[in-house]
Structure 1
Amino acid sequence: MAKKKTSIKDIAEALGISITTVSFILNGKGREKRISDEMTKKVQDYIKKIGYKPSHIAQSLRLGKSKVIVLMVEDISNQFFASIARLIEEKSYKNGYKIIYCSTDNDTDKAKELIGTFKVRNVDGFIITPTPGLENVVKELLEEGVAVVLFDRWMPEVDCSYVIVENKTSAEEATRHLMDQGCRNLGFVTVDSNQTQMMDRLAGFQEALKGSKVHSSILKVKFHTIAEQYASQRILEFLTSHPELDGVFFSTNYLAFEGLQALIKLGKKIPQQIKVVSFDDHYFFNLFQPPISAIEQPIEEIAESLMESMLKQLEGTGQNENQKIVLSNKLNVRESSVLH
């Protein structure tokens, strides 16, 4: 027969005190409730002696806090999101919180379902890379007093804390770099999306071309999973139908991976025949021959800013002010975009 788990009531009876007194001490409210240090030590020594561990669920119901934060990203297997997740996990743990990760696959219905699932589990906060059409759900979370921080993208219709990077400025810088290297027929390959980060990267590309004599061609591909071959085929068709391109800028690293595969199939020499730059640096870009020029996002700063903003909300030190943080990127110029 299984041994019965010790309850707060059992502890109270063993020590001859009230259940309420034990509860206050277990929840760190002994001093606040004017319980003597002697009594507090008596309870703590006893629970240590018997090896008592409070129920996490019951404790979260009593305190109204679960000490759990949900990190909801587009794709946790993507290096950018995985790197952010690892740093956030480390920073959360140091502050007494645990992290739950999940991927939305940029699917709004899936995102809504996940948020609903975690809400009933009384999680303390959400760090979200929002999917299209998630505005009302996020507004509801905020109205219910749930801590929310958006990252990688934001929603103009929602007044909410967010941490993003200078997408437009960096895309403009990368495009000007290609132009400075002599490119006069530029291609831009991006995701077909009206989300802020993708719109800003496209806007940066177009801004750099204003007033120049550089010709441009733009390919927008629908969001897809890694297993799908859709983008690879579309990029191959795009490059085949635009043989005049002497430079191409990929708005994400996963599009760049498939673009490089297409360029190899076409026998294009980089950078002699076509120069390449990608948004969102990746360790693979240093291994590729030639190494690929790319915009590096400040992963450590992003994670730090996300946790700082989240903790201010959770600990009530933010004075109800939303933090809207925009961080700078770095263009790492490598051999793929420079002729020596």
Structure 2
Amino acid sequence: MLKKITIKDIAKAANVSVTTVSFVLNHKGIEKGISKKVIEKVLKVSDEMKFKPNMIASSLRTGKTRSIGLIVEDISNQFFSDLAKVIEREAIDLNYRVFYCSTGGNDERAIELVNSLLQANVDGFIITPTENMKSTIDRLLALKCPVVLLDRYFENQEASHVVLDNFEAADTATQYLLKTGSKKIAFVTNSSQLIQMNLRKLGYSNALKKEGLFDISRILDLEYYISEEERIDRISQFLYSNPDIDAILFGANYLLLAGLQSFRKLKLKIPADKAIICFDDHDSFKFHSPSITVLSQPIDEMGKKTVRLLMEQMNDSANYEIIKEKKKGNLIIRESV
């Protein structure tokens, strides 16, 4: 049986005191005046010896659990699962665990999850908020809990967030459809008041209004909670009733997944009958025939920045600066336009 490595073993190998090792591994080396050279040496030895800290003992000693609560809309959605992978990778590198939770867009569920994670004494929160979650975020801020919002935020709330520049992204996607010859462009979205969806609608509308081509009847707002079958039927009815539509911007990847089935149902060809662009990539879009043009979010960049902002709060709660960051999207041109 392999001997469990302890901080005493690391101290001996690094030729420093156990106290020094403890301070370094608990991210207090600089605070305690330990030199950069010694910190690097301890971390190198710790890594070489594959040291795994005792989380329970550390929690009892410091009051910290070295854990992060990640609350997203739907962890099964590829956009959120890809984000979660980046966040977990970054957290593991910093010796933190991540607890994953999905709200399903349900406000009550979201509040329950926050309460459960508070009871679990997580050190910080990364949250993709539901539509009516502002007061819950306000409560976390009042409790001085480190929190960073991801993908969406609330206006006039002083909370750090990392989001896509949704207005610019929708404007860019719509302008590309115009540039490639489409004039009667539809937008399929959901009817929530979430800010990212509203900004996508505004960006789409803005691009068309500049060209005198905006028509509100070409916007399809779908309820978030309807079934996949009903979503397919509603998109099918919309397309059947508006045969002159020559292009569609889909506001989320799950909407296009339903839309592709509607196209099949109506025997519509892409891009011969309708050109397509969708927000957020999906593995199936690359392999679909024809492949789907997407407005992709910089997931790796967003996940890394979110963890970095949370760590700044957790390490210096008194002096951290609220950061509100917008990231540029990337229009990936494929065969659907």
With the shorter chain as reference, the TM-score category is 0.7 to 0.9
Structure 1 position 139 matched with structure 2 position 138? yes
8 Å CA contact 1:312–1:318 kept in 2: the answer is no
Q: How far 1:241 moved relative to its partner?
A: 0.8
- Aligned-partner Cα distance in 2 for 1:176–1:260: 22
Find the counterpart in structure 1 of residue 311 from structure 2. 311
- Match of 2:233, as an amino acid? Q
- Aligned-partner Cα distance in 1 for 2:55–2:148: 28
Change (3 A) 1:187 1:105: same
Give the secondary structure class of the aligned counterpart of 1:336: coil
Find the counterpart in structure 1 of residue 63 from structure 2. 64
Change (3 A) 1:325 1:55: closer
Find the counterpart in structure 2 of residue 284 from structure 1. 284
- Match of 2:193, as an amino acid? N
- Aligned-partner Cα distance in 2 for 1:318–1:304: 22
- Match of 2:222, as an amino acid? V
- Match of 1:234, as an amino acid? R
How do 1:197-208 and structure 2 match up within 5 A?
197-208=196-207
Q: How far 1:99 moved relative to its partner?
A: 0.3
- Aligned-partner Cα distance in 1 for 2:293–2:91: 33
Give the secondary structure class of the aligned counterpart of 2:149: strand
8 Å CA contact 1:128–1:148 kept in 2: the answer is yes
Structure 1 position 268 matched with structure 2 position 277? no
Paired residues, number: 295
Structure 1 position 297 matched with structure 2 position 297? yes
Find the counterpart in structure 2 of residue 42 from structure 1. none
Q: How far 1:211 moved relative to its partner?
A: 3.3
- Match of 2:303, as an amino acid? A
Find the counterpart in structure 2 of residue 111 from structure 1. 110
Find the counterpart in structure 2 of residue 181 from structure 1. 180
- Aligned-partner Cα distance in 1 for 2:144–2:191: 33
Q: How far 1:267 moved relative to its partner?
A: 1.1
- Aligned-partner Cα distance in 2 for 1:129–1:54: 30
- Aligned-partner Cα distance in 2 for 1:330–1:25: 46
Find the counterpart in structure 2 of residue 222 from structure 1. 223
- Aligned-partner Cα distance in 2 for 1:156–1:258: 31
Change (3 A) 1:318 1:334: farther
8 Å CA contact 1:73–1:102 kept in 2: the answer is yes
- Aligned-partner Cα distance in 2 for 1:55–1:232: 47
Find the counterpart in structure 1 of residue 329 from structure 2. 329
Give the secondary structure class of the aligned counterpart of 1:257: helix
8 Å CA contact 1:189–1:220 kept in 2: the answer is yes
- Aligned-partner Cα distance in 2 for 1:212–1:284: 33
8 Å CA contact 1:67–1:96 kept in 2: the answer is yes
- Aligned-partner Cα distance in 2 for 1:107–1:73: 11
Q: What does the per-residue CA deviation read over 1:117-165, in whole Å, with 9 as the maximum and x for residues that have no partner?
A: 1101111111000001111111111111111000100111321000001
Structure 1 residue ranges without an equivalent (≥5): 1-23, 34-52
Q: What does the per-residue CA deviation read over 1:43-95, in whole Å, with 9 as the maximum and x for residues that have no partner?
A: xxxxxxxxxx8571x64244221111011000001111111111111110111
Q: How far 1:319 moved relative to its partner?
A: 2.3
- Match of 2:76, as an amino acid? S
Find the counterpart in structure 2 of residue 45 from structure 1. none
Q: Which has the larger radius of gyration?
A: 1
8 Å CA contact 2:298–2:327 kept in 1: the answer is yes
Change (3 A) 1:122 1:26: farther
Find the counterpart in structure 2 of residue 241 from structure 1. 241
Find the counterpart in structure 2 of residue 11 from structure 1. none
- Aligned-partner Cα distance in 2 for 1:244–1:107: 36
Q: What does the per-residue CA deviation read over 1:187-239, in whole Å, with 9 as the maximum and x for residues that have no partner?
A: 100011111100010000000011324353000001137x6422111111111
- Aligned-partner Cα distance in 2 for 1:273–1:136: 46
8 Å CA contact 2:228–2:258 kept in 1: the answer is no
Point out 4+ residue stretches in structure 1 off by more than 4 angstroms.
24-33
- Match of 2:141, as an amino acid? L
Q: How far 1:283 moved relative to its partner?
A: 2.0
8 Å CA contact 1:184–1:213 kept in 2: the answer is no
Change (3 A) 1:294 1:83: same
Q: How far 1:25 moved relative to its partner?
A: 9.5
Change (3 A) 1:330 1:223: same
Structure 1 position 169 matched with structure 2 position 168? yes
- Match of 1:332, as an amino acid? I
- Aligned-partner Cα distance in 2 for 1:236–1:124: 46
- Aligned-partner Cα distance in 2 for 1:231–1:63: 50
8 Å CA contact 2:129–2:153 kept in 1: the answer is yes
Change (3 A) 1:96 1:318: farther
Give the secondary structure class of the aligned counterpart of 1:146: coil
- Aligned-partner Cα distance in 1 for 2:143–2:190: 33
CA RMSD of aligned residues (A): 2.4
- Match of 2:260, as an amino acid? L
